[in-house]
Chain A
Amino acid sequence: MTAVPETKKTERRISPAVIPMYIVTVLFVALPMVYVIGITFLMKDEVFGITNQVTLKNYADLFSAVNLKVFADSFVVAISTTVLTLLIGYPFAYFTARFSQKTRSFIILLIMAPFWINSLLRLNGWIILLKANGAINEGLLALGIISEPLKILYNNGAMMLGMVYALLPFMITSIYNSVEKMDWTLIEAARDLGSKPFSAFLRVTLPLTMPGVVAGCVLVFVPSMGLFFISDLLGGSKVLLLGNLIKNEFYQARNWPMGATLSIAMLAFTFVFIIIYKKVTDDKTAGGLK
């Protein structure tokens, strides 16, 4: 009966169940990422592949005029997509949260359902609508509003439409989650204390739903730089996005190191936003959410 008190500060247990995930993570997530980072410091071979020559040229090339333009364009597209989805999505989420429980969950189901459908299929619908001989032009021609088909496909507008369309559900669900959890009595209290409806919205509702807004913005912004196929299919590849550029470096220029370097640059962008996202979602309580 003289058991010595054990000091168990450094107690370590690894359950064998973790091992498969450990292997997959190291082998197929960590190693590829490390490899990609590695080749950004290497030279491209004359025709194809990579030489062993170490260089920083790829990083210098990031700042070439062509690349800078792509960065700027992608950034503008991503920001505009984010702002547009926010402007469309916020009222939608806000109104939805004011419906009765049943209606509410039905609307959210409707908004989430297309998310399950391949985005290509849905973009296809827009192509049909916007084509020169598509539904909209046919309709307008038939009504005599226009005399020849409008060029509404294969331009920036069409691309933005596709972007907003593809990413809107992410924005709506994020904001909706915040609005739904919000304590509505706080708004009542603000109104009771003499706030006008709009000022109550600005001072109470908006700050309370900020975590959802930020989460939604990140969820929209991050993928919007990489969705090359939307630009390809709807924008007619007129605007070169970061995603298109990376794809082209790999498949057309066959310059893997450059493609990798561009990806790393995009990654850096992304990480800044993921960190913001984590920060905001981690201190949800600070936002006054129940």
Chain B
Amino acid sequence: MKKKNGALSKLYVILVLFLTYLPVFVVVLYSFNNSKYGNWEGFSFTWYDKLFQNRQIWRSLKNTLILAFSSCFLSILIGTAGAVGMAKSRFRTMNLLENVSMIPMMLPEIILGMAYLAFFSILKIPFGMLTLIIAHTTFCVPYIYINVQSRLVGLDPSFVEAARDLGASPTRAFIDVTLPLIAPAVLSGALLALAMSMDDVVISFFVTGTTSNTLPLQVYSMLKMGVTPEVNALCTLILLVVFGCIGLYYLFMSLYRRRAEKQ
């Protein structure tokens, strides 16, 4: 059996974890800071008040949500259909198509952002929500595709064959058997895509328009101006939402895994 960890190794793990969460705690703490300037001056909700009155932030929040959900939805459709279709297809450009469609996941974001900037301007597509959705959908598709595809590869073909054997048409077998079995992969890919979209600064930075500021971009410009406790308050709220989502995700995954283990 493998050796157990000594006190030093345990301490090391705890230290790294502590440093990982230190800045997060600091942000939360300082969002309740009364002072406008860095030093601590006592507890207050002032900045939350200010935040809720900041229309710009509300607008960018709305934009981020619209963007994340619509690009996630589109990429679910495209990525899932793509993975399922690819499993059933055999053509010469298949590998090429697959590799090229994975590029957005591999490339440094800045190159992708820049490529979109150049490409959309030559096509004279006005920068705004449309360009954001196109860009985000494109880089979300690979996350869905890869998840679904690896699930499909691991899927025993005899499930579908059994359904066919029992009288199901190909479409019916897909709906009754394949779809429920790949649903967890679609969902986990979708959550990842959602997170990527809501987190993205670089690509959005290049393809956004004047009226379509997203929340990360808003935070970025606020941070560039210098930290204000208002940003901290915003960050804390985002943290709350994100941890809620992670909680849900892991709850879901562990339920799914428990079911899979029993098989």
Are A and B in contact, CB atoms below 8 Å, in the complex? Answer: yes
Question: Hey, which bits of chain A sit against chain B, CB under 8 A?
Answer: 11-22, 24-26, 28-33, 35-36, 39, 88, 91-92, 95-99, 107, 109-111, 113-114, 116-129, 131-135, 138, 165, 168, 184, 187, 222-223, 225-229, 232-233, 243, 246-247, 250, 256, 259-260, 263, 266-267, 270, 274
With A29-B100, A127-B227, A138-B39 as contacts: A36 and B115 at CB distance below 8 Å: yes
A36 touching B82 in the complex, CB below 8 Å, given contacts A13-B91, A138-B40: no
Please tell me if the beta carbons of A15 and B9 are within 8 angstroms of each other in the complex: no
Q: Contacts A17-B88, A25-B97, A95-B9 given; indicate if A114 touches B21 (C-beta within 8 A).
A: yes
The answer to whether the Cβ of B160 comes within 8 Å of any Cβ in the partner chain is no
Compute how far the CA of A15 lies from the CA of B84 in the bound complex, rounded to whole angstroms.
9
Chain A minimum-CB-distance residue to B26: A125
Chain B residues near A114 (CB-CB < 8 A): 20-21, 24
Q: Is B5 an interface residue, CB under 8 A from the partner?
A: yes
A-B contact pairs, 19 of them (CB 8 A): A12-B91, A15-B85, A17-B82, A20-B77, A21-B79, A22-B97, A25-B101, A32-B119, A33-B115, A36-B119, A97-B2, A110-B17, A110-B21, A116-B199, A121-B24, A124-B235, A131-B227, A135-B38, A223-B109
| A24 contacts B195, C-beta separation under 8 Å | no
Question: B85–A18 contact, CB under 8 A?
Answer: yes
Residue B179 is within 8 A (CB to CB) of chain A in the complex: no
B-to-A contact residues, CB < 8 Å:
1-5, 9-10, 12-13, 16-17, 19-27, 30, 37-40, 77-79, 81-82, 84-86, 88-92, 97, 100-101, 103-104, 106-111, 114-119, 122, 134-135, 137-138, 141, 145, 195, 198-199, 201-202, 205-206, 216, 219-220, 223-224, 227, 231-232, 235, 238-239, 242-243, 245-246, 250
Q: What A residues does B231 contact at CB under 8 A?
A: 124
Contacts of B1 in A (CB 8 A): 184
- A14 CB to closest chain B CB (Å) equals 5
